[in-house]
Amino acid sequence: MLHHGSIDQFLTRVADRSVVPGIDALARTVRVTAAREVPLDRHGATLVYIASGAAKLVARAAVEREQVAAFNFTGDLVTVPGPGPHAYVLVALVDSELVVLPYAALRDAVRSDPAVLARLLDNCDAALGRCREKALMLGRKTASERIACFLLAMAPRIGATSGAAILLDLPMSRRDIGDSIGLTIETVSRQFSLLRDSKLIGTEGRSKVLLLDLPGLELRAGYQQNPN
Amino acid sequence: MLHHGSIDQFLTRVADRSVVPGIDALARTVRVTAAREVPLDRHGATLVYIASGAAKLVARAAVEREQVAAFNFTGDLVTVPGPGPHAYVLVALVDSELVVLPYAALRDAVRSDPAVLARLLDNCDAALGRCREKALMLGRKTASERIACFLLAMAPRIGATSGAAILLDLPMSRRDIGDSIGLTIETVSRQFSLLRDSKLIGTEGRSKVLLLDLPGLELRAGYQQNPN
DNA sequence: CGTACAATTGAGGTACTTCAACTTCCGTGG
DNA sequence: CCACGGAAGTTGAAGTACCTCAATTGTACG
């Protein structure tokens, strides 16, 4: 039986094997071009696997007031919440290949499959951990701390080591960054300039950021060493 | 074999049965009095079941700058993150009975137990959903919207219907509320006063809040009906 | 009933936003 | 290859929502 390549990739990465009973009836492969919203069935939560590309999970607080709940990259698994007090949409940041599944139906299909459940739980734990760090940032950090936190959080996810420095090729705009960390584009821009002046980062073009001084950035981010 | 009552309760609620192999070696029952930090092994993440009481999960952004990541109540399951860029502690809001387990060891013990994994996943999904709503609130809502959101979020968790209204007996202080929604105690207090003046809520003593007008509060909270 | 702490209320300060103008980047077409 | 044009980003000046500091009032516990 023939699978689309993205679903194969999803199965081997998420289930550690090529077959999950009933998955073909659920999974749908979608190509989405940059800046386009991922089309979803809106009857409940949706699970999206990013076979390639990058996306932002956006919550609408009001017209012209959006909060980026998460950025996700190739290989990531995202759950998009269903109906609730606020509407969530997934928007591609670059041309992307995605596998889309209704979350409830998937959960039911893998109900007695501990390996897949464990994988989903790992993924959810990681997302929760990142979301808590984001909440901390949004609630109790200054603008300059937020930018440093943001860059440090991106480093392990999309950073490439470049000598002693780390190179980030950010697929999101200043507006997306601002919507993610609760600032305006102007404030984001000013803070980037300040970090550049402090020699903590270097920039190249619109999207490339070079993290020059990680300890300095961690200090700026207000990272507290866990005292234990 | 004799279990402590709280562990029994944990097992029947989380595993839907009274036995999980190896659980006795892992689980520890703890009584914590109000305002006390829950003692945890700090080698990794910890799972805490609240057999009775209430607790706040606190992240330290800096000295005198705390963010409440979550409030949890009787019957809730909380994962406390282990070492990372910021330190997390769980603090009892009232006298509480808790079951404490090292998360990694528990995960290993239930590795091939789909029922427990599914329960943990349900719990994590719910926590992630609430955390995302909190991030939205912290990033893009005004002070008055935040208070309304907070009260509406508490309603289904600890609210008691009182005629057409909902009565909340809040176990947390104004400072805790402020640390949860990213405001100072003074701003929280002022917003409570404004809501009272608008007849959207009533208050009684320090802790009791009566939600008088849910549609009005939802409007004030900036809830967007999911358009689908 | 008195004390200690929590909450409220007021006045002034500030970090970030808003509004505006300018500059840079980069894809497109000459 | 270079020039053009529009969007993205940067920088500056003024405004505002929330914070900080301070004093008062309220609440619950001994």
Q: In whole numbers, what is the pLDDT of chain A averaged over residues?
A: 95
The amino acid present at A9, given as its one-letter code, is Q
Confidence class of residue A107 from pLDDT cuts 50, 70 and 90?
very high
User: What confidence tens digit (pLDDT) does each residue in A51-97 have?
Assistant: 999 999 999 988 889 999 999 999 999 999 999 999 999 999 999 99
Which residues pair with residue B100 across a beta bridge?
A: B28, B48
The DSSP secondary-structure symbol of B17 reads S
Q: How far apart are CA B53 and CA B92, in angstroms?
A: 8
Q: Hey, how many other C-beta atoms are within 10 angstroms of the C-beta on B168?
A: 21
Q: What is the mean pLDDT of residues A109-116?
A: 97
Cβ contacts of residue A97 below 8 Å, gap of 6+?
Answer: A6, A29, A30, A31, A50, A51, A52, A53
Q: How far apart are CA B145 and CA B139, in angstroms?
A: 12
| Residue A187 contacts strand C, CB under 7 A | yes
**Predicted local confidence at residue A4, as pLDDT:** 75
Residue-range domain boundaries for chain B: 4-136, 142-221
Confidence class of residue A2 from pLDDT cuts 50, 70 and 90?
low
Closest residue, CA to C1' of D11? A190
Cβ contacts of residue A46 below 8 Å, gap of 6+?
Answer: A40, A79, A80, A82, A90, A100, A101, A102, A103
The amino acid present at B114, given as its one-letter code, is P
- DSSP structure string for A179-211: HHHT--HHHHHHHHHHHHHTTSEEEETTTEEEE
Q: Do B79 and A131 touch (CB under 8 A)?
A: no
In chain C, which nucleotides are within 7 Å of a protein Cβ?
6-11, 15-20, 25-26
The chain A residue lying nearest B113, using CA atoms, is: A114
Judging by DSSP bridges, how do beta strands A159-162 and A165-169 pair with one another? antiparallel
Q: Do B223 and A85 touch (CB under 8 A)?
A: yes
Element (H, E) at A129: helix A114-140
Confidence class of residue A224 from pLDDT cuts 50, 70 and 90?
confident
CATH T-level fold of B142-221: Arc Repressor Mutant, subunit A (1.10.10)
**Predicted local confidence at residue A1, as pLDDT:** 58
Q: How far apart are CA B201 and CA B218, in angstroms?
A: 12
Q: Please determine, for residue A205, whether its predicted confidence score (pLDDT) is greater than 60.
A: yes
**Predicted local confidence at residue B3, as pLDDT:** 62
Q: Do B79 and A133 touch (CB under 8 A)?
A: no
Per the structure block, which two tokens stand in for A76? 């990531």
Q: Please determine, for residue A174, whether its predicted confidence score (pLDDT) is greater than 50.
A: yes
Q: How far apart are CA A60 and CA A66, in angstroms?
A: 5
From residue B99, alpha-carbon distances to A125, B2, B89, B102, B187 in Å are 20, 16, 15, 10, 36
Q: How far apart are CA B220 and CA B214, in angstroms?
A: 10
For B69 and D2, how far is CA from C1' in angstroms? 55
pLDDT (tens, 9 = 90+) of chain B, 228 residues, equals: 566 799 999 999 999 999 999 899 999 999 999 999 999 998 999 999 999 999 999 999 988 899 999 999 999 999 999 999 999 999 999 999 999 999 999 999 999 999 999 999 999 999 999 999 999 999 999 999 999 999 999 999 999 999 999 999 999 999 999 999 999 999 999 999 999 999 999 999 999 999 999 999 999 999 986 443
Q: Which of A19, A95, A57, A125 lies closest to B47 in space, CA to CA?
A: A125
Chain B partners of A14 at a C-beta cutoff of 8 Å? none
Q: What is the mean pLDDT of residues A47-52?
A: 98
Q: How far apart are CA A65 and CA A217, in angstroms?
A: 29
Cβ contacts of residue B155 below 8 Å, gap of 6+?
Answer: B166, B168, B211, B214
Q: Are A10 and B194 in contact (CB under 8 A)?
A: no
Q: Do B128 and A79 touch (CB under 8 A)?
A: yes
**Predicted local confidence at residue A63, as pLDDT:** 87
Q: Hey, how many other C-beta atoms are within 10 angstroms of the C-beta on B205?
A: 7
Q: How far is B116 from chain A (nearest CA, A)?
A: 9
- Indicate the CATH number for domain A4-136: 2.60.120.10
